[in-house]
Chains A and B, each alone.
Chain A
Amino acid sequence: MFPSSFDYVRASSVSEAISILNNEEDAKLIAGGHSLLPLMKLRLANPSKLVDIGRISDLSYIEDRGDHVAIGALTRHHAIENSQVIKASVPMLSHVASLVGDPSVRHRGTLGGSVSHGDGASDLPAAILALDATLVITSGNGVREVEAKNFFKGFLETDLNQGEILTEIKVPKATGGWSYQKFNRRAQDWAIVGVAAVRNGSTKISLVNMASMPIRAEAVENALSGGASIDEAAALASEGIDPPSDLNASADYRRHLASVLVRRALAEANSN
């Protein structure tokens, strides 16, 4: 399997990449390529041009900025998994990064790539959603910031417009209780259902593979802030949510799993 033909250009700066994107409607960014290339090999994506931003070294960093950690979009999963700053300040994020794919995948995949791809079955988009991260987006018009909860719009659809690049992910420090429950049958598989729980003031819960995009379990969050018990809140895990059916699981099974995993996640987040 190989992709259909495309032109390739390597950008040496964000502004160069933006100007190429602005001049070619079907151009796509590539960094690690571990979300885009599989789609291109299946001919589900056929960009006319790939703009390789993988070598822009000033987009790969992890910085402690007081109340949050700033992560450059090109930071690889492997670096997030092993970063002492992230382990100390946002331990859930380094744990979730360590569960993505396998070590060889994590050597190539980038946080910005995974978040921009916005796959509802991916681990890291759901993690940054539960962590209330802020996404920094750069375009020819300057820089804008979007809350993670307003970033994911639909199936592989995000708030990013053509000509915009996700350049930084700001993750509030979260050293309270947390849990990430990834349910799959085989090592390195995608989650059939996943749950991220973060206790940082209030409790935030996000769900993996329960919708076309990463989503917050708002009914659970509201129940918890209204004083519900873990069991009562977990029973609401799929309220208002229409999970997919596929080869791995029916929608009904996903609803059941979501309740079980939310209960486990809340119990674990309360105990650490």
Chain B
Amino acid sequence: MEVTMTVNGAKVSKDVEPRTLLVHFVRDQLGLTGTNIGCDTSSCGACTLHVNGESVKSCTMLAVQADGQDITTIEGMAKADGEMHPMQKAFQENHGLQCGYCTPGMVMAATSLLAENPHPTEQEVRHGLEGNLCRCTGYHNIVKAVLAAADGMAEV
């Protein structure tokens, strides 16, 4: 069946099987491979993207459920001229990534967290990122990056 949605600001229409998962849709049909597949069981958060501004694990949502919705993937975070989103900058500046596999999902979950709670405590950041696993165990700098982004984004 045909689905139409806004992905990173642009309208897309595609024919999908109802069983197509949103993560497969963005990766395989739209070529947006920044969204990773990790555990495929809504545990690890590698596939986190935004649906109407809220973080969602796209391995546990059907593309047909996203019909008509506003989707943002990691590719939609930087500005058109390539300037990174403040959260991406904060991850870079605070060494918030090692192998990088969890990073797109971390950035999407962290921006959703700050949208709901612009000034989280360190504990709130740690709890807010519970659904995103970093198997390099680089959590300390990830939390540091999110706190730095919260400070930086508040100034903007």
Residues of chain A touching chain B, judged by Cβ–Cβ distance below 8 Å, are: 1-8, 10, 30, 33-34, 37-38, 41, 50, 52, 54, 78, 101-105, 107-108, 187-188
Contacts and interface: CB of A to CB of B under 8 A. Distances in A.
B130 A37 contact: no
B19 A38 contact: no
A107 B130 contact: no
B65 A33 contact: yes
A143 to B, nearest CB: 27
Contacts of B113: 103
Give 6 closest A-B pairs by Cβ, nearest first. A102-B131, A8-B18, A187-B130, A104-B55, A107-B54, A102-B130
Contacts of A1: 40-41
6 contacts: A37-B60, A102-B131, A103-B55, A103-B116, A103-B131, A107-B56
Contact of B19 (A2, A10, A103, A108): A2
A102 B45 contact: yes
B73 interface: no
Contact of A41 (B40, B67, B112): B40
B109 interface: yes
B40 to A, nearest CB: 5
B21 interface: yes
Interface of B: 1, 17-21, 24, 40-43, 45, 48, 51, 54-57, 60-62, 64-65, 67, 109, 112-113, 116, 127-128, 130-132
Contacts of B130: 102-103, 187-188
A37 B24 CA distance: 14
Given A52-B65, A103-B113, A104-B55, 16 more contacts: A1-B41, A5-B17, A6-B19, A8-B62, A8-B64, A10-B67, A30-B65, A33-B60, A34-B60, A38-B41, A103-B131, A104-B54, A105-B42, A107-B56, A108-B60, A188-B131
B61 A104 contact: no
Nearest to A8: B18
A107 B17 CA distance: 24
B109 A103 contact: yes
Contact of A104 (B40, B48, B64): B48
Contacts of A6: 18-19
A5 B56 CA distance: 23
A101 B109 CA distance: 14
Nearest to A35: B60
Contacts of A78: 54
A39 to B, nearest CB: 11
A108 B65 CA distance: 11
A5 B55 contact: no
Given A2-B24, A6-B19, A104 B131 contact: yes
Given A2-B19, A2-B24, A188-B43, A105 B57 contact: yes
B42 to A, nearest CB: 6
Contact of A3 (B19, B48, B57, B65): B19
A180 to B, nearest CB: 16
A8 to B, nearest CB: 4
Contacts of A8: 1, 18, 62, 64
Contacts of B21: 2
A219 to B, nearest CB: 34
B89 to A, nearest CB: 23
